[in-house]
Amino acid sequence: MRVAVAVLAGASALLVAGCGSQGVVLPTANGVSGTLPKQKTTPALAKGDPAAGKKLFASEGCTGCHTYGPAGSNATIGPDLDKLPQYAKQANQGSLQQFVETSITSPGNYIQPGYQNVMPTTYANLPPKQIADLVAFLTQ
Binding site for ligand HEC (CB under 6 A): 57, 60-62, 64-66, 77-79, 81, 87, 100, 103-104, 107, 110-112, 115-120, 123, 134, 138
For residue 67, the cross-strand partners are 74
Supply the minimum distance, in Å, between the C-beta of residue 56 and ligand HEC: 7
Instruction: Please list the alpha-helical segments (H only) found in 21-126.
Output: 50-59, 84-91, 96-105
Q: Are strands 67-68 and 73-74 parallel, antiparallel or unpaired?
A: antiparallel
Supply the minimum distance, in Å, between the C-beta of residue 63 and ligand HEC: 8
In the complex with ligand HEC, which residue's Cβ is closer, 47 or 83?
83
In the complex with ligand HEC, which residue's Cβ is closer, 6 or 124?
124
- Cα dihedral sign for 11, 13, 14, 18? positive
In the complex with ligand HEC, which residue's Cβ is closer, 12 or 106?
106
In the complex with ligand HEC, which residue's Cβ is closer, 13 or 77?
77
Alpha carbon distance 6, 83 (integer Å): 82
